[in-house]
Chains A and B, each alone.
Chain A
């Protein structure tokens, strides 16, 4: 059992994660982007006397990249957060940044927690990591250290969960898997705290075991406490489930064509790999249809007589 939980499962979970994420990203990436369709959220670059908003409406790849950074690091779009309310016969728009605030809080804390966990697989623990831990634990409330990111992580998630059950609209659109994901994350967080505050895990033992896994000389963790095992199993479930669930948005966001492209298809031609010629109604056919009327109206004509429009029709305007 211990061998299964502390050796087989971690490897299985990682395989599932890596294989899954690669598959998902490959799958997305294997469909082409036929058109350059950024959603423009600011002034385009056009005339020199009109100030372009290059981050919201990137004129080139560099700015598209920066826009993506803003999106991924600061959740730019969520920050637009506004709420519409109907008051009697009018609509009122107000700013509502709560979702942005708590989502950002949760995601950033998760990143920090992940980084902190690197201490189990890095020997010796690098200085930046020690610094990060120190900063994170500055609210040193006795021993063991209570990290603020732990609090933020759980606060953020609790908000996301409560929001989902409390707001009728959210409840209405939610799927079972939406609850599953957030509950799983909360469980991971709580069990993690338990390994430090309630049933303390043997850190040195865990580190030895973790190092044995990453150096591919796996040793089971003999003295795993139930709390630690619970935490471990939950984390493994999360990692294994990640790519196959909505959590995969973490990879997908980078590929989003409305965010990662420059709005410059009038300046630089975008090529659609599957573009194909399609039939058009050519000018010659049009003139055939209306020759007499055009003549009477005094419009110039290409030909005084009916022409064979068919041949030209495929060529008209198409490559």
Chain B
């Protein structure tokens, strides 16, 4: 990773425009703002076209000779397949309501990062080849598909996290995420992926998860967490793996099995399931909740997602419980059943503890853990000691996908308020459906594009800083594995002293297990503040 630029440098921009018209400026690929090109072997593993090693920094991108025809044919096909695409190409009135809603624009000031212009990058080509007016050329806002245009697409479609914030404000709901998704799919037709996406896709396809954990490594990683949990709680927890006949299959993003601070969230899950005596199992084959295929192409996303239902069927479980993740949940909520359903071999999810039937998941048969836990708490099934989180002053980041592609807003807040006493919302324009992205979503959480991530994460960080100054917030809670992976460096840079925690890490801290030892450590094996020092009343809060 290159040396990080100074804060003063990164904030040297204005939310303006550029001197020259955008159609006449070539994209200049600045190091630090983009990811490495996809390696040939990773594309080959999944059979994506034009597999070869290439570098965006070089002049020659090693494209097939007929790349233009391939792209145009690809556009024609997708215009027939997606109403969203055809409509969004046609009905934008350039009202500009979306212009200052994108965190990439807000963090770079680059006008091509205004959602409307990001769309125009593709739309101008659409006009040229797919509309009559396109013959008027510039006058009609049309332009030829040249190599420079293609490179510009690549640069800017990988500066969009498919977060849908623009779509919330657009009077027609034009969703730049949808356009980016299709734009990236077109780029993939000629082998223009990034390796940060292609690598995890290949891993996930062959090994079952993005980070490429083999079955035995999954087990040993989890062993480590269970050892820590034993130290913390005095209890040995023994989850099962690939077990047939379990009632519930639990799937979480592999980031939770892999690195801090995701593992702490994962420990929270284990504690919860242990306390409930849940009949569940974890699969090493379907060991990924996330789906980098979605950042590649619709087909790739479907191929990776297929493992969830396939494994649920093979193991003969009744339903699927899903961990905390953002894009995973947009897909489970809006795509999975359509891609790989109907899941008629599963049953409508019923909480074995409370008896609640999750009618909202009666077809897809998959429940979000925040829904599951909120239901438990509503029915008073958990013994909680929120005072154990009293040293934490918490704010909550809605991840884009669960906010704008699902609407899971109050379940996590419900849980959060039960497990910690100090909770403060960020500014209204930056939460819930208007939440600001972490800036690293949709496969942009690499190291080589750190400048881009810091910039795109700045608007969110700015909102965190505000509540830090006002309320002394020191924890950014979230329900997304990508947030957990991507926020720590961004917070260290912009708002040092802010810890990033998954919701179920906080649940784990507060959860009172039957027969546990006196808890002196939190899930990070750090000393809990002594009871008499914190809240005066302390005691066993319920």
Q: Which residues of A contact B (CB under 8 A)?
A: 24, 27-29, 31-37, 39-47, 49-51, 53, 56-57, 59, 71, 75, 77-78, 80-86, 88-91, 93, 99, 103, 167-178, 244, 246, 248-249, 252-253, 255-259, 263-272, 274-275, 278-283, 286-287, 289-290, 293-294, 296-300, 302, 316-319
CB pair A37 B427 closer than 8 Å? no
CA distance A59 to B361 in the complex (A): 12
CA distance A283 to B28 in the complex (A): 45
CB pair B362 A248 closer than 8 Å? no
* Given A29-B83, A281-B206, A283-B311, 20 more pairs with CB closer than 8 A: A31-B83, A31-B86, A37-B405, A39-B167, A39-B168, A44-B409, A51-B410, A71-B171, A88-B11, A169-B16, A172-B21, A173-B120, A176-B141, A248-B91, A252-B91, A256-B173, A265-B335, A266-B363, A269-B341, A281-B205
CB pair A169 B364 closer than 8 Å? no
CB pair B334 A47 closer than 8 Å? no
4 nearest CB pairs, A to B: A317-B310, A44-B407, A258-B173, A252-B91
Contacts of A267 in B (CB 8 A): 359-364
Chain-A contact segment, one of B59-67, B213-221, B496-504, B533-541: B213-221
CB pair A275 B338 closer than 8 Å? yes
CB pair B285 A255 closer than 8 Å? no
Contacts of A56 in B (CB 8 A): 407, 433
- Residue in B closest to A259 when the chains form the complex, CB atoms: B173
Given contacts A257-B83, A279-B303, contact A168 B411 (CB under 8 A): no
Contacts of B334 in A (CB 8 A): 35-37, 263, 265
- Residue in B closest to A27 when the chains form the complex, CB atoms: B86
Contact of B91 among A44, A45, A59, A249 (CB under 8 A): A249
Contact of A279 among B47, B87, B173, B427 (CB under 8 A): B47
Contact of A249 among B7, B83, B93, B408 (CB under 8 A): B93
Task: Give B5-28 as 1s and 0s: 1 = Cβ < 8 Å from A's Cβ atoms.
Answer: 001000101111110011000000
- Residue in A closest to B312 when the chains form the complex, CB atoms: A317
Contacts of A246 in B (CB 8 A): 91-94
CB pair A268 B216 closer than 8 Å? no
| A60 nearest CB across to chain B (Å) | 11
Any chain A CB within 8 A of the CB of B419? no
Given contacts A169-B99, A283-B311, contact A77 B83 (CB under 8 A): no
B interface, how many residues as a size bin? 35 or more
CB pair B374 A169 closer than 8 Å? no
CB pair B15 A78 closer than 8 Å? no
Q: 17 interchain pairs (CB within 8 A)?
A: A33-B84, A36-B334, A77-B169, A78-B171, A82-B169, A84-B106, A91-B462, A168-B17, A246-B94, A264-B360, A269-B337, A269-B338, A279-B303, A280-B310, A297-B215, A300-B244, A317-B306
CB pair A24 B90 closer than 8 Å? yes
Contacts of A78 in B (CB 8 A): 95, 97, 169, 171
- Residue in B closest to A82 when the chains form the complex, CB atoms: B429
Given contacts A31-B81, A34-B81, A43-B409, contact A258 B310 (CB under 8 A): no
Contacts of B364 in A (CB 8 A): 265-267, 269
Any chain A CB within 8 A of the CB of B140? yes
CB pair A174 B94 closer than 8 Å? yes
| A56 nearest CB across to chain B (Å) | 7
CB pair B333 A266 closer than 8 Å? yes
CA distance A35 to B340 in the complex (A): 12
Chain-A contact segment, one of B110-118, B263-271, B480-488: B110-118
Say what secondary structure dominates the interface of chain B: helix
Contacts of B95 in A (CB 8 A): 78, 99, 103
CB pair B341 A244 closer than 8 Å? no
Say what secondary structure dominates the interface of chain A: loop
CB pair B408 A83 closer than 8 Å? no
CB pair B172 A296 closer than 8 Å? no
- Residue in A closest to B300 when the chains form the complex, CB atoms: A278
- Residue in A closest to B330 when the chains form the complex, CB atoms: A37
Contacts of A82 in B (CB 8 A): 101, 169, 429, 434
Contact of B100 among A34, A83, A293 (CB under 8 A): A83
CA distance A53 to B168 in the complex (A): 15
CB pair A270 B337 closer than 8 Å? yes
CB pair A28 B83 closer than 8 Å? yes
CA distance A36 to B82 in the complex (A): 11
- Residue in A closest to B175 when the chains form the complex, CB atoms: A258
| B270 nearest CB across to chain A (Å) | 18
CB pair B411 A84 closer than 8 Å? no
Contact of B80 among A31, A172, A318 (CB under 8 A): A31
Contacts of A173 in B (CB 8 A): 94, 96, 99, 111, 114, 116-117, 120
Any chain A CB within 8 A of the CB of B242? yes
CA distance A85 to B109 in the complex (A): 11
Contacts of B409 in A (CB 8 A): 42-44
Any chain A CB within 8 A of the CB of B366? yes
Any chain A CB within 8 A of the CB of B155? no
CB pair A317 B341 closer than 8 Å? no
CB pair A263 B407 closer than 8 Å? yes
CB pair A43 B407 closer than 8 Å? yes
CB pair A286 B208 closer than 8 Å? yes
CB pair A40 B216 closer than 8 Å? no
Contacts of B285 in A (CB 8 A): 283, 286-287
| B125 nearest CB across to chain A (Å) | 14
Given contacts A46-B371, A47-B378, contact A252 B242 (CB under 8 A): no
- Residue in B closest to A247 when the chains form the complex, CB atoms: B93
Contacts of B139 in A (CB 8 A): 176
CB pair A90 B94 closer than 8 Å? no
CB pair B340 A318 closer than 8 Å? yes
CB pair A80 B168 closer than 8 Å? yes
